[in-house]
Chain A
């Protein structure tokens, strides 16, 4: 009986060892990317790979969450943030090497279910007054720059809708796509991807409807050649064309 148990434990360990060796061998170069880049960044990385043969793997989350992770030792070699404040915080903490390089200007859009009747801020106001809008999705302003910008849009318009907060801007868009929220204020790039799912409408909000979102990137100390090459690629014509086509402004 005990012999059988030790055999079982030995078997477990034998299964684990070779697998863990392989896991260590395949660790990729990861780059931390703000959630608003979910649609466009895979395309830019594919271009980059085709042109240079180099590979980087994006990890998406809210800029605040990614910054927190990098402050705590996450091995990302590059941060593509949705603003300039979070990268500046990493520089101040000595985790990354200055300078910050702005690579895009964030734009917001109103995303709504076609059935909600919300087309613009005026119809949003009407829907709110009529009680037809139960939830407006935005990213969590505590960790997501796009959430802060969305809140600024609402403040300037004098609107106080019942908010539902996504952990990041992609989750906020997801709330509208899944129908949990009737409308949301999300990044223009994600709104463009979302309307492809059908049943949704979007409206680009003017750049002056919120404080500018100067999206900056910053390299980690000791970043490798792949990450450095990719940081340079983000400033190149091909990446800039992709960003512009996706709905970003260019610095």
Chain B
């Protein structure tokens, strides 16, 4: 493995970890709220939250490129606060990755919170548990397998993400050139052996990471603390 390969691998893992770390609380919060809300706009909101999965990466990428670009409000705000650019930077591909993976992380959590049911929430309340205590001690442990599944899906999808990261990130070595982009780059440089080696590496790392996450999810879920 060359130094460039190691950099690409580190970026990919970093991006996947950051995506999951940001998505986990979002998926739990949004999923729980959507599961219990009686708001009439819920189906529309759910559909909107599904959009990143429905739309092709080129559309999402273009929307983000324009929406977070140096001329946009978000882009200017980010530049004013951090002094850096959002597009073509690591922060930019994290934002893109969080958005693209939101439905993947949230849907399983939402379904899991739905499956807990109003009866159980009522029972917890009648046992004298405060809403937060009921959430912590009853709902979260029951919904955990769904939440963990969403996290695993988001992690795996981020490792393999290509189109959006290329459009928003521009494949800059050490900044936005993830392992999937490095493989594409190798193929274009006529280096099929190098591309094959990286593809094998990505496969091995993905299987390993996902196995670990599944193990972790099972152990946490089994604890039922």
Contact = CB atoms under 8 A, between A and B. Distances in A.
Contacts of A197: 190
B131 interface: no
B190 A16 contact: no
A62 B25 CA distance: 40
B188 A35 contact: yes
A12 B17 contact: yes
Contacts, number: 108
A1 B220 contact: yes
A9 B25 contact: yes
Interface residues of A, number: 39
Most buried by A among B75, B87, B174: B174
A189 B190 CA distance: 13
A28 B174 contact: yes
Interface string A143-183: 00000000000000000000000001011011001000000
Nearest to B136: A2
B172 A75 contact: yes
16 contacts: A4-B220, A4-B223, A5-B144, A12-B17, A16-B18, A19-B17, A27-B172, A59-B171, A61-B171, A72-B88, A74-B172, A75-B88, A168-B188, A170-B190, A193-B190, A194-B190
Interface of A: 1-5, 8-9, 12-13, 15-16, 19-20, 23-24, 26-28, 30, 35, 38, 57, 59-61, 69, 72-75, 168, 170-171, 173-174, 177, 193-194, 197
Interface of B: 7, 10-11, 13-14, 17-18, 20-21, 24-25, 65-66, 69-70, 75, 85, 87-90, 136-137, 140-141, 144, 170-175, 185, 187-190, 216, 220, 223-225
> Which 9 pairs, one residue from A and one from B, show the smallest C-beta to C-beta distance?
A1-B225, A12-B21, A73-B70, A74-B88, A170-B188, A1-B141, A19-B14, A69-B170, A16-B18
Given A60-B185, A75-B85, 5 more contacts: A1-B220, A1-B224, A16-B18, A24-B90, A61-B171
